[in-house]
Amino acid sequence: MSNKNTVVMTVYNRPTPTFLNTIMGLAKTGLLEHSTEVLVVDDGSTTDYESLVNQFANEGMPIRMIRCDTVGDRPDTYNLDGYNNPAYASNFALEHVTTENVFPMSSDVIAVPDVLAVASRLDLGKVAWMPCVTDMDSGMEYLGPTRIAPYGWFYGVKTEILKDVGWDEEYLKGLAFEDNDVMARLALKVGRLVIDQSVRVWHQSHPQQAYSDDLEGWRRNKKYTIEKWGGIPWENEERSPLAVEITTVNNQIVVDVSLRDAVAGVTA
């Protein structure tokens, strides 16, 4: 049976136990049953993930790993001892996805067994689908009815749509905010996000390297985002460049998205 879906994640020196938990969670989601492969993109890590990935592959899990080198391929990249914005690695990952649907996933998230089964019920050509997300240590809801912040923890969409949207590599000149941008443009492209309250995945806490430079990289990309959008998508509703209409239907939070005003340089 050929694969229909690809779960794809980028990783750079994520703590091994965190990454292992992520892979073990995916192994329980019925990948083969749902014609799904896993693609891991290692962006120049010094941590050895290959032996771990190979171990799962040898046990029958449809998983493979490829490598890229953002700092080498994009010399102007802002980085902290090799840690950098994942925009280039995310685009690199998409280039190697050939399936109909793609599920980008953060390498610090633990999926639940029914996540693929629930996602397969929707036409991903008309919506971008995502489960609710909770931090397993603090209990804070990152995505759900109390916080509509659809970032890149786990979501599904038609591959051709996400390839058309892509990540803006100007974000390589700083840190953070690439998710605000790509998820806003994806929402404008498909018109509708669906946050499914029947499924909840778990975020694992870990050291925040992106904030270890006194927020220099964060400030750079915040400035660029405001210049590009006229505000920060998904933050501060009154000043957000997005007009968001939220309804709840059959346990699904439906988020319809449009631009408040024309924004120069912003396209879906």
Q: What is the pLDDT of residues 205-258, one digit of tens each?
A: 876 666 678 899 999 999 999 999 999 999 866 678 999 999 999 999 999 999
Sign of CA dihedral 116, 113, 146, 253: positive
Provide the pLDDT for residue 239: 74
Provide the pLDDT for residue 262: 61
User: Is the CATH number 3.30.365.10 carried by domain 5-259?
Assistant: no
Provide the pLDDT for residue 263: 59
Mean pLDDT per 10-residue interval, the chain, length 268 residues? 88 94 97 96 94 96 97 94 93 97 97 94 90 96 95 96 98 96 96 96 81 89 95 81 93 93 58
pTM across the whole model: 0.94
Q: What is the pLDDT of residues 79-90, one digit of tens each?
A: 998 889 999 999
Q: CA angle 154-53-158, nearest 5°?
A: 35
Provide the pLDDT for residue 129: 97
8 A C-beta contact, residue 233 and residue 183 = yes
8 A C-beta contact, residue 187 and residue 148 = no
